[in-house]
Amino acid sequence: MREIVWDTETTGIFPGDGHRIVEIGALEMVDRVLTGRSFHSYVDPCRPMPKDSQAVHGLSSDFLTGQPVFEMIIDDFLDFVGDSPLVAHNAAFDMEFLNWELKRIKRPVIPHSRAIDTLEISRKLNPGAKHTLDALCNRYGIDLSGRTKHGALVDAELLARVYVELTGGRQIGFDLAEAAVAEEVPVERVTLAMRAHAASPEELERHAVFVAGLKDPLWVQ
């Protein structure tokens, strides 16, 4: 099954307050395995970046000015996504921003029924625990050392690993099979030499002595 794990960075919390998407990152998974295909783009929000938001993701107005506007990247994003389910952490947030932008340019919105929310999955599996992406990475032993600030693509990569853990993890056999395919290792049928099962004369002699010593065996009436 094909799924898209994705994330956004924005200028703020609520699109209704005039906040916009500034980055989109998405990764393709097939049967819970990353394929290596991805989509990533920064987006010029055509508005100033608040300092508190810049502190989260590090994207400044100077950096974003001149990047493609949303209208220029949305077709490539939608082509990449296709009709696949969309996996996100706190999916309502990302879906609200994406659909707000789509409405703004008079394009059809994406139904929320296509979203898979890892936040909801985590809450059901571990009620009362912390459910931030950082907390989930720590819970499942996923390395965060290379992440200094939030970023749509790096967070999507972390979320992909978290999603696999939340949905049962990967079986060792699949890992080995993938390694064999990657290295083009031929799969061969292994045939073991036939083993001799007949008892030796010494074993037959010991067995006869054992049977002779049995008291009132059932087979003697």
pLDDT in tens, 42-76: 999 999 999 999 999 999 999 999 999 999 999 99
Q: Which residue has the higher pLDDT, 112 or 190?
A: 112
Q: Give the full edge-to-edge strand order of the sheet including 115-117.
A: 33-42, 21-30, 2-10, 86-88, 115-117
- Count helices and strands (H / E) in the chain: 9, 5
Tokens describing residue 200 = 């030796």
Strand ranges, E, within 43-190: 86-88, 115-117
* β-pairing verdict for 21-30 and 2-10: antiparallel
Is CATH 3.30.420.10 what the domain over 2-182 is classified as, yes or no? Answer: yes
Q: Which residue has the higher pLDDT, 101 or 206?
A: 101
pTM of the model: 0.75
Is 89 an annotated catalytic residue?
Answer: no
Q: Give the pLDDT score at 185.
A: 39
Burial class (CB in 10 A: 0-12, 13-18, 19+), 214: exposed
Q: Give the pLDDT score at 84.
A: 98
Alpha-carbon separation of residue 209 from 7, 201, 212, 214 (angstroms): 77, 13, 5, 9
Q: Which of 57, 131, 150, 207 is catalytic?
A: 150
Q: Give the pLDDT score at 183.
A: 46
DSSP string, 27-43: EEEETTEEEEEEEEEE-
* 105-157 pLDDT, tens digit each: 999 999 999 999 999 999 999 999 999 999 999 999 999 887 777 899 999 99
Q: Give the pLDDT score at 175.
A: 47
Query: What are the residue ranges spanned by the domains of the chain?
Result: 2-182
Q: Residue 182: is its pLDDT beyond 70?
A: no
